[in-house]
Copies of this chain bind each other. A is one copy, B any other.
Amino acid sequence: MSDLVTRLRRHNWRITPQRRVIAETLEGSHVHFTADEILERAVERMPELSRATVYNTLNEMVALGEVLELTLDGRSKRYDPNADHEHHHLICEGCGLMKDVHAMADPVDWLPGDERHGFAVTRASITYRGLCPECQAAQS
């Protein structure tokens, strides 16, 4: 897996100290952080880092196509550094736990031509929902 900073550099995008800290914070963990969670953690390494820079940087990384923006609930957006590996998400309706998953088929292939309304369909993402093991146990 070519790391995020390397991928970003290919876009002739200046890797400032702030941008490096943000990218490394984003990639360092395997969860899907919100902007404020990234700020919270990045600030431990760079105390003067501002909220505006975190938002600006995340938006730029999304525009470059190197980070995915997930809007799975109506709360904060979440950022996913794993943009170079096609995958979907499985979310627990009890506690919000989120897992990356891989489906056996490309959902675009399962959309018949007469359901496309003339669109040029380029991609599809699946959101699976259910209960995680702990929330199942808590419920019964």
Confirm or deny: A63 has a beta carbon within 8 angstroms of a beta carbon on chain B: no
- Confirm or deny: A121 has a beta carbon within 8 angstroms of a beta carbon on chain B: yes
> In the complex, are the beta carbons of B128 and A121 less than 8 A apart?
yes
- Bound together, the chains give a CA A125 to CA B126 distance in angstroms of 6
Is A71 a contact partner of B72 (Cβ separation < 8 A)? yes
A14: Cβ under 8 A from any B Cβ: no
Per the CB 8 Å criterion, the residue count for chain A at the interface is: 40
- The number of times this chain is found in the oligomer is 2
Name the distance in Å between A34's Cβ and chain B's nearest Cβ.
11
* 0/1 interface trace, chain A 128-140, chain B, CB 8 Å (1 if under): 1111110010000
Besides A118-B133, A119-B133, 12 new A-B residue pairs in contact (Cβ under 8 A), listed by A number: A90-B116, A90-B117, A101-B117, A104-B111, A104-B112, A110-B126, A111-B128, A119-B128, A119-B130, A120-B131, A121-B129, A122-B129
